[in-house]
Structure 1
Amino acid sequence: MPETYILDTNVFLFDPQALEHFPGSQLLIPLEVVEEIDHFKHDSTETGHNARQVAHLIDRMRGKGSLRDGVRLANGSTLRIVADESAVVTGGDGQAAAAILRLGKQFQEAGLAPVIITQNVNLRVKADALGLDARDYEQAPARDTNTLRGWQVMEMDVAQLEMLRSGQPLRQFQGVLQPNEYVYAKLKGQAKVACCARYYAENNELWPLADTTRVVCGIRSLNVEQTFTLDALLDESIKLVTLAGKAGTGKTLLAMAAGLQQIFADNRYQRLLVFRPTMPVSRDLGYLPGDLSEKMRPWMQPVFDALDFIRSQDKKCPARTLPNDVMSCPEISVEPLTYIRGRSIPNQYIIIDEAQNLTPLEVKTVITRVGAGSKIILTGDPEQIDNPYVNAYSNGLTRLVDKFLASPLSAHVTLMRGERSELAETAAMLL
């Protein structure tokens, strides 16, 4: 007998193609869930787009038969919209959750074992209290960024290490490394004798990093991970860079400094384009006055803080890179992520900050906007997520790292050591 699944609203808002991931099953959607999806259809966000896409998808299925009796899907599943005619549908808060639990109990009493699929943690707890099986919606298991660091420490003998330190590559390298993975090579028994290197999979060669002391708009690397990060950010052949790590490790600062260097000094890109999802850490402040730039200022303030710090460091350099009006020059644009759909962005250096708050579908939408000659950087901390629909494993940044691990177009670095201040690093470790 095929398994029976009851799907919650948040599953479809997270992935509008969710029906395809339950082949050969009986899928049940309470009418209250359809009603709740309808409430999101006017949103200008990715959630609104997903709601409209799901509504059109279900509407097209009406041509295959009665949704009340069940229609056959291409993957062998059967979809039913279940209406409890004894209940009054008002569309209030909790209506969909109550309907899901009620439907689960009805099927359980009929001798079936339905499984509730929801990203609502409290609904899973309630279902368990009622003796119902409830699971999170997961498309596929993804390895987290603590496992996929993008770099590793290797011990080498004297001959290998001296070859790297003299600027020569290790050819026919014997090691399990991914394309553009970084290596901190150290002498066996002597950790202070070391060299930073990068693996080139197309030639199976490990090359030492040419310049580990480079100053970029007054910013220099303060640890090994930052050295790896700057190398990936400044390499034109790497089109996608993902940076993960806790607060204060320098993800956004390094990404912006490298972008400014390549725009104003190297003339490699036309503009620095920074996107940030509008996801509050605490309670939202409601509607904000002013035009778009004024409304976005509170959300984008961390970006402006980083830009101001880079400008102050650049001023200390003998040969300045940045113009005096860098805070307001047209080569820098800070925008909300909401309006990226439908765009094509060529010849630009793109930063997606706080990418851990994006769903995999939102990340796909972002990456597919990148035009010819552009480079895109996604930064985030998977341990600090404000989006209720994703977690440390299901968020778009983590899945992007996992999927692009073997691509020569991408590089990933997980930064471990905080450099913001001694107090910030201590707080990150203790709190």
Structure 2
Amino acid sequence: MRKIYVIDTNVLLQDPRAMFQFEENEVVIPAVVLEEIDSKKRYMDEIGRNARHVSKILDGLRNEGMLHEGVPLVSGGVIRVELNHRSFQYLKDTFMEVTNDNRILAVAMNLQVEQETLERPKKVCIVSKDALVRVKADALGIKAEDFLSDRVTEYDNVYKGKIYANVPAQLLDLFYEKQSLPVSVLEKERLAPHQFVVLKDALGTPASAVGKVDETGKMVKPFAIEMDQVWGIRPRNVEQKMALELLLRDEIQLVTLTGKAGTGKTLLSLAAGLLQTEDMGNYNKLLVARPVVPMGKDIGFLPGEKEEKLRPWMQPVFDNLEFLFNTKKPGEIDQILAGMGSIQVEALTYIRGRSIPDQFIIIDEAQNLTKHEVKTILTRVGEGSKIVFMGDPAQIDHPYLDELNNGLAYVVEMFKNESISGHVTLEKGERSGLAQLAADLL
């Protein structure tokens, strides 16, 4: 049976083409949604861009018919802008305030009441990224759903870049003897290029081995990079060794690292970047950037020149650099960086339009990026460059993103089968016992 989906504004601002994801069903856009989109179209950010995109799509649909009467879609469904059904008659005793959210709820409620009078009624459903709108709809007896089509995968199918396999002891011996092992003997589903494999003895003995699938996806081989330390940093667990294997391999041009706070993502990436830029000369410059997205309430405009404005946002990067350079005095790290000239700390605000060749690029806090933003960044990467995306999908400050639809998760999922990319999820915290306990408990 066909349904009527009433779309909230936040769905369209997250994915402008969301209106085409409802197959043969009827899509209703309340007039108040158009008003909210119109108020956002002047924003000079991702939300503003999406608002303008929605406006262009709806304007193009006018060529197919009258939007208030309904325009047929290729999927077999219909889309229409709802101008009626604005009465608050059924909400006045429950949600009396005339807010935009309540106006959307009123449209859905009135459509549902209307459908109940028909011989073959359609089910009405509100689609919203706003949890409280869904809660209100449920209180009114209206079905409500989150918009899930923008998610790149499901919670139980998140790619971690590593697997654990229990194998007979003779396979472990064969791996050490031949320095390789066919993926087919692991009795696992198809493994991705550069996916890590932790081999354990099926009988439960301490014998184990760690390898990585080669670029063909057919053989498991030992790590090619064996370094006790990188710029004074020693890997403290097997996951950090996996991360360094990806960071130090020239043929892996795209590296993605995810993990909770304190797992060492930023420190390892900076150490690997400094080694390959300053010591090995593989790259001309180390570029470190992160999105300017505040945690909690924004502190507003900051005084000073660009560098002074950026310093509070980039301070986590400088903290790690101070640790790597073992600085003791205030301002010493700034003098070191100014003298070297090959390390650039930048905000992602200024990356559009650039071409970045022969650089080691680190994008921190990438979980706060949208799909469009990561595409913009990746298309800036020039010849001879390597780029690292890292972040914690559980710590998202962007209002329209979650663990499964953010730009970092998008890159991980879309590139997992490519031979030029590698990913690993770091799970063990090494910052301090307190930090690890906080990440686990809170």
TM-score, normalised on structure 2?
Answer: 0.86
> Offset of 1:185 from its aligned partner?
2.8
Residues 1:183 and 2:197 are matched in the alignment: yes
- Distance change >3 Å, CA 107–CA 198, structure 1 → 2: same
Q: Unaligned 5+ residue runs, structure 2?
A: 89-96, 116-121, 328-332
Residues 1:132 and 2:146 are matched in the alignment: no
- Distance change >3 Å, CA 424–CA 181, structure 1 → 2: same
Deviations 1:286-313 (A, max 9, x none): 2222233222222211111111111129
Residues 1:234 and 2:248 are matched in the alignment: yes
Matched position secondary structure for 1:257: helix
Residues 1:151 and 2:162 are matched in the alignment: yes
- Distance change >3 Å, CA 427–CA 131, structure 1 → 2: same
**1:151-300, aligned counterparts within 5 Å?**
151-165=162-176, 168-171=179-182, 173-175=184-186, 176=188, 177-189=191-203, 192-200=206-214, 202=216, 204-300=218-314
**1:405-420, aligned counterparts within 5 Å?**
405-420=416-431
TM-score, normalised on structure 1?
Answer: 0.88
- Greater mean deviation of Cα atoms: 240-249 or 38-47: 38-47
Deviations 1:327-373 (A, max 9, x none): 66432222222343444333222222112222333333333333332
> Offset of 1:72 from its aligned partner?
2.5
Equivalent position of 1:105 in the other structure: 109
CA distance in 2, matches of 1:272, 1:94: 53
Deviations 1:383-428 (A, max 9, x none): 2222221222222222332232222222111111111012212222
> Offset of 1:120 from its aligned partner?
0.5
Amino acid at match of 2:129: Q
- Distance change >3 Å, CA 172–CA 8, structure 1 → 2: closer
Aligned residues of 1:277 and 1:355 also touching (Cα < 8 A):
yes
Aligned residues of 1:167 and 1:210 also touching (Cα < 8 A):
no
Equivalent position of 2:92 in the other structure: none
CA distance in 1, matches of 2:53, 2:311: 31
Residues 1:335 and 2:339 are matched in the alignment: no
Tell me the number of residue pairs that the alignment of Structure 1 and Structure 2 aligns. 419
Residues 1:33 and 2:37 are matched in the alignment: no
CA distance in 2, matches of 1:54, 1:291: 36
Amino acid at match of 2:23: P
> Offset of 1:152 from its aligned partner?
2.4
Aligned residues of 1:145 and 1:414 also touching (Cα < 8 A):
no
- Distance change >3 Å, CA 94–CA 386, structure 1 → 2: farther
Give the percent of matched residue pairs that are identical in Structure 1 and Structure 2.
43
Aligned residues of 1:167 and 1:208 also touching (Cα < 8 A):
no
Matched position secondary structure for 1:350: strand
> Offset of 1:70 from its aligned partner?
2.1
Equivalent position of 2:69 in the other structure: 69
Aligned residues of 1:213 and 1:221 also touching (Cα < 8 A):
no
Amino acid at match of 1:195: A
CA distance in 1, matches of 2:339, 2:34: 46
> Offset of 1:27 from its aligned partner?
1.4
Q: Unaligned 5+ residue runs, structure 1?
A: 314-321
Equivalent position of 2:398 in the other structure: 387
- Distance change >3 Å, CA 414–CA 39, structure 1 → 2: same
Equivalent position of 1:365 in the other structure: 376
CA distance in 2, matches of 1:36, 1:238: 44
CA-based RMSD of the aligned residues comes to 2.8
- Distance change >3 Å, CA 198–CA 247, structure 1 → 2: same
